[in-house]
Amino acid sequence: MSKKLLIETHTIKVSPSQLTENVNKENGNLMVEGILATAEVKNGNGRYYKKELWDREMEKYDQLVKERRSMGELDHPESTVINLKNVSHIVTGYNWDGDQLMGKIEILPTPSGNILKELIKNGITVGVSSRGMGSLEQNGSVMEVQDDFELLCWDFVSTPSNPGSFMSVLQEGKNSVTYNYTKVNQIVTEILCSKGNCPVF
């Protein structure tokens, strides 16, 4: 079986009051936390990840966290390379809560990070999505992710693959919110234009 790009998503919902309460004390950047991944269940993409697989990959990923190189992008590229000009955030910590991998994420003051922060400030629900490489094997009604899986990063995206699992600044949400991609683009354009940085398409 050949390896392919595997993408899994959870969503984040932040209330306006949480935006002022949850900042990095050293630099003032917005901090969010919630579910990064769920193990031992069939996810929204019909895939199944063993907890041991996530444990192994997080042990490797931990070095990136310690070195502040655990970056992710705004939107998923169809690539295994993190494009620095699209970096919006950095994972700063993680822990297990049962079979849920919880994470802390710092939104960076980059162009993509500023767009992400403005989307969150305006009540837009965005997804947190793992990006990795691996192969799949059919096992009954699920596609089981194989031991060759390699975690690359977590990105923020507009359309979650697992809408029943929400990520928030301090609490886990339970409701699913879906946004049309065109609407998100319209909101981003309105935000940028209101700041005097209207994009030219």
Residue 20 is given by DSSP the state H
Task: Specify the amino acid at residue 59.
Answer: E
- pLDDT tens series, the chain, 201 aa: 677 777 776 655 554 444 445 677 678 888 888 788 889 988 878 889 999 999 999 999 999 999 999 999 998 888 889 999 999 999 999 999 998 898 899 999 999 999 998 888 888 878 788 899 999 999 988 899 999 999 999 998 876 554 333 444 432 222 333 333 344 555 555 666 566 555 543
SS3 of residue 147 by DSSP: coil
pLDDT at 20: 45
Q: What angle do CA 144, 13, 18 make, to 5 degrees?
A: 135
- How far apart, in whole angstroms, are the C-alpha atoms of residue 74 and residue 175? 23
- Could you give phi then psi for residue 81, rounded to 5 degrees? -105, 135
Please give the torsion angle defined by the CA atoms of residues 150, 155, 161 and 165, in that order, rounded to the nearest 10 degrees. Answer: 100
Domain boundaries, the chain: 4-194
How many CA atoms, within 13 angstroms, populate the side-chain half-sphere of residue 29? Answer: 19
Q: What is the DSSP string of 40-85?
A: SSB-TTSEE--HHHHHHHHHHHHHHHHTT--EEEBS--SSSS--GG
- How far apart, in whole angstroms, are the C-alpha atoms of residue 106 and residue 88? 9
pLDDT at 198: 52
- pTM higher than 0.85, yes or no? no
Task: Specify the amino acid at residue 2.
Answer: S
